[in-house]
Amino acid sequence: MINTKNRTIFSVVTAFALAMVLSACSRDEADPATASDDIEAPGTVAAGDVQSTADVATAEIQGDYMRGIVAEISDDRYEGRGPGTRGDEMARTYLAERLEAIGLEPGAANGSWEQPFDLVGINASQPETWTFDREGKSLTLKQWDQFIVGSGVQEERAEIADAELVFVGYGIQAPEYDWDDYKGVDLNGKILLMMNNDPDWDPDLFGGETRLWYGRWDYKYLSAASQGAAGAIIIHTSPSAGYPFQVVQTSWTGVQFELPAGDEPRSQISAWVTEDSARELVAMAGHDLDELREAAFNRDFEPVPLGITTSIGMDVNIERVQSANVLGLIPGSDPELSDEAVIYTAHHDHLGIGTPNDDGDVIYNGALDNASGVAQVMAIAKAIKALPVAPRRSVLVALVGAEEQGLLGSEYYAANPTFAPGKIAANLNYDGGNIWGHTHDVTFVGLGKSSIDQIVTLIAKEQGRVVKPDQFADKGYFYRSDQFSFAKIGVPAMYLDTGTDFVDRPPEWGRQQQEHFTEVNYHQPTDEYDPSWSFVGMVDDALLGYWTGLAIANADEVPTWNAGDEFEAARLAAIEALQD
């Protein structure tokens, strides 16, 4: 059984001495799994302080505390915490009160707990059918069963007339991989039919099986708009999306929220179709879908006009609402470093009230996703605040909103940060929690990208656990949660997720539990709190994040992206901006 009392690390390496590990690791190019094994703790903290810090962790990070938060904000009274709703406001008020109760200070401007941001709600009246024509032949698809379509514009009408479909492979332009699916073809006014995911058969190409942002739906819609396309249709398959079509049905219907539009290019419509429907479409054009996909596996692929035209129009209800990020601050104790911060994030929102399931339930409670992540961050904050001396750097708790709408709350914070990006030492994100028990491992989404690797590996080892990279790498989780917003502005980031190797369980049991949740409960009304859930795994993962954050907050040096990482340039630019 895992020793959740932190084992020998806290008698050998104190919270403050452990902080020095980060500096040592940044100079050590050895393998992350072994780089820190021989580091000696500087004798700067008395033994009593060492034990005191460990005692605070085990006293404050408790399963019952987290259970209470999960049960509360996932209750039906909160109506699924949809952005801009009464339930959203209730959740924000509750969380601010809890942060205040544990002694944090308001972390937003003007002494406020909330950083408000405007949202534009777009609710398209999707047509019941969608007809495609070619040379006297027609194919009509049914909404919900075969397609889901939304407006790509923040206007009261979205419309396309007689636009041609063009198959564009993955719809990716990536100069660093010498990859361009568009080849300079004029696609203005076209509807682009594209595959999900990114090329995954070569470990040196797009990260191999690890899905990059290029494989995400948001990139694809943006990519189509940048080509002047009138619309984009993504072909859904469960393996390429990472979830079944039911997630598309429930997540892309009803009100869809966005930050207010700027001057960026936009397409009129953004849609999904099932694989079988796409197969019928391209067959009408005399093509085989598998052959088209095979052609798209090569760098020399060029767009394939299908000779199919279609028209579609939708009335769109536009509403403007406001949500907010809830920010709580623990000021740093070092006069020279307190203007820097470690930021813990978890999103407080979910999908609100939506389409009823087979049982007639319309409330998408979001208990695992993400009341559990909020609870872990709150427990960590409670423990850090209870320390006799605050960390050298400040610690900001950012419970962000509208994540389910496309990381909007964290995107807004990244564009309007309370600490300059170059002053944010790291982001530690929690999105979901382990409700099944102790594990021999922990998943670090983002392992291999930054110097945070070494410190997490050391602490997990002292927990008796092994750190593993994203164990569902094909789903692209690094680009699907709030740490991505921070990474884009250069902040080294990690996302701790549930392991799969469960104590006293068969080898495949943990993976089966998580896959079952994705298939049955993810973004469904059945993601509800269950009193039978175990919180011991959440305690383990929260302790890991607690000690990791303390180490970073107390280190002389801040984490860095590994050389050549996709976010390294943004970090260097953020640091240079401080000098300017």
User: Which one, of 165, 118, 362, lies nearest residue 253 by Cα?
Assistant: 362
8 A C-beta contact, residue 255 and residue 122: yes
Output the six-digit token pair for 204. Answer: 């040196």
Instruction: Burial-class residue 514 by CB neighbours within 10 Å (0-12, 13-18, 19+).
Output: buried
Element (H, E) at 163: strand 157-167
- CATH 3.40.630.10 maps onto the chain at 9-103+331-579
Which residues, in sequence order, are CB contacts of 516 under 8 Å at separation 6+? none
Give the whole-angstrom CA distance, residue 485 versus residue 408: 9
Decide if domain 122-318 falls under CATH 3.50.30.30. Answer: yes
The two counts, helices (H) then strands (E), for the chain are 17, 21
8 A C-beta contact, residue 353 and residue 364: yes
Give the whole-angstrom CA distance, residue 71 versus residue 76: 10
8 A C-beta contact, residue 532 and residue 417: no
Give the whole-angstrom CA distance, residue 393 versus residue 88: 31
Give the whole-angstrom CA distance, residue 25 versus residue 34: 10
Coil vs helix vs strand at 292: helix
Using the CB atoms, write b or e for 205-223: b if 16+ within 10 Å: ebbbebbbbbbbbebbbbb
Name the E strands within 262-355. Answer: 269-274, 304-330, 341-347, 352-353
Output the six-digit token pair for 16. Answer: 């403050």
Report the pLDDT value the prediction gives residue 50, as an integer from 0 to 100: 56
Paired with 250 in beta bridges are none
Which residues, in sequence order, are CB contacts of 508 under 8 Å at separation 6+? none
User: Which one, of 294, 208, 195, lies nearest residue 237 by Cα?
Assistant: 195
- CATH 3.50.30.30 maps onto the chain at 122-318
Give the whole-angstrom CA distance, residue 12 versus residue 80: 45
Distances in Å between the Cα of 113 and the Cα atoms of 85, 143, 374, 399, 402 are 18, 42, 16, 10, 17
Give the whole-angstrom CA distance, residue 275 versus residue 370: 30
* Successive 10-residue mean pLDDT values, the chain, 580 residues: 35 40 37 35 40 81 97 98 97 98 96 97 96 96 98 96 98 94 98 94 84 89 97 95 90 92 95 98 97 95 98 97 98 97 98 94 97 98 95 97 96 98 98 98 96 95 94 87 97 96 96 95 96 97 96 94 94 94
Report the pLDDT value the prediction gives residue 210, as an integer from 0 to 100: 83
Give the whole-angstrom CA distance, residue 47 versus residue 53: 10
Report the pLDDT value the prediction gives residue 242, as an integer from 0 to 100: 83
Element (H, E) at 247: helix 245-251
Paired with 164 in beta bridges are 309
User: Cα-Cα-Cα-Cα dihedral of 511, 516, 521, 522, to 10°?
Assistant: 50
Give the whole-angstrom CA distance, residue 526 versus residue 362: 10
Give the whole-angstrom CA distance, residue 218 versus residue 210: 17
Report the pLDDT value the prediction gives residue 52, as an integer from 0 to 100: 74
Which residues, in sequence order, are CB contacts of 323 under 8 Å at separation 6+? 83, 84, 88, 92, 116, 117, 119, 349, 401, 402, 409
Domain made up of 9-103+331-579: CATH architecture: 3-Layer(aba) Sandwich (3.40)
Element (H, E) at 69: helix 63-73
Rounded CA Rg of the chain: 24
Output the six-digit token pair for 303. Answer: 């767009």
Residue ranges of alpha helices (H) inside 190-244 are 217-226, 238-241
8 A C-beta contact, residue 170 and residue 214: yes
Give the whole-angstrom CA distance, residue 278 versus residue 146: 9
User: Which one, of 417, 497, 448, lies nearest residue 210 by Cα?
Assistant: 448
Which residues, in sequence order, are CB contacts of 31 under 8 Å at separation 6+? none
Report the pLDDT value the prediction gives residue 110, as an integer from 0 to 100: 87
